[in-house]
Structure 1
């Protein structure tokens, strides 16, 4: 259980180290986790090629197993250096680095595809992160971003009957509530508006899941895909 003298980082560390895998509907290997990742990759079969791919907020590389298209290099990054499993780490195409998505250490137009899964709602400045993702993507490349529709009705109901119920059964409902408040600091309409602004000069599509209707209260998440038409935005001061 959380204590009054704990910092936000302490609370989140306790959650992810001790409770996430037994509580979250999107925990490793769950049906919903597989559906999330597969939905992002559905348009890109083995006949598609993105030579150089960057994943931001990639954790341990859970998304890579769902990537069906061809690539020559896959850069797996997170704020803390990712620790992929042994089989994944043995792939010579994989590059693993620690970096901040709000100030990426890569040149302009360096990647053919950039991937972000369930990341933006955690960040202090999603606007800066979006600008950076666009900056490092080559014109004609793709940025793929998965956005949970929190606090939409379908999202909240689904979370209450999965993660919320599991937390109550484990006697950690109070911890679950504060983790939800701390972890999802940015709401969906704000993130979508920021993304549409940053990619305003580009080709942007939004795919809704699971019901495909463009109603955020009726869906659990959306996949935003942007293809920059123009050279990337200037990077932040170094």
Structure 2
């Protein structure tokens, strides 16, 4: 707990414009990329970076560093970093990437030891989400974390209608139990390139509007017809 408070206070002192909430969120990212994340994963392969995925770099507590962020890895296995340009990263280990950054960015690192690096996978969230699109996510994140990035589903029942697909094939059309488990993407078996989609709310069209208005229109038309019939009959009776 003392460590958490120290990091948050350090962020606030170094950058007064950062709010307490932003500082806490920044620390959460540091926790994922640091001791609670990649460096403690015994199953991480020697060369964990894959073409099409990304690399997350964190230099906390330096929140203003241009090195902080996610950098995409192209289909040839290269990542483009500021200043140094493109380097092939798919044949490098995490420690080798750290060494490269410490060597080439020594003048831009406040604390070279406070450097955390980890691979992130790409997942597409499509259909009825607030912000559908392609996202780079930590494979240790849960489905809740991923859906939150996209702002959640547009309709309330959308969470129960989500589908998980890979290469056009349906993996499952019921993610409810996976949400309830709260397990990581890695434990669930979600891989880079997978898609999660939920149906979009029915789009309103002209004919949809007509179908909704028609009963009321029919009711008023009937009233007008009855009134006109009454007036006609009354006129005929008076004219006799």
The verdict on a shared fold, with TM-score over 0.5 as the criterion, is: no
The structure showing larger relative contact order (alpha-carbon pairs under 8 Å, at least 6 residues apart) is 1
**TM-score, reference length from structure 1:** 0.29
**TM-score, reference length from structure 2:** 0.29
Whose Rg is larger?
2
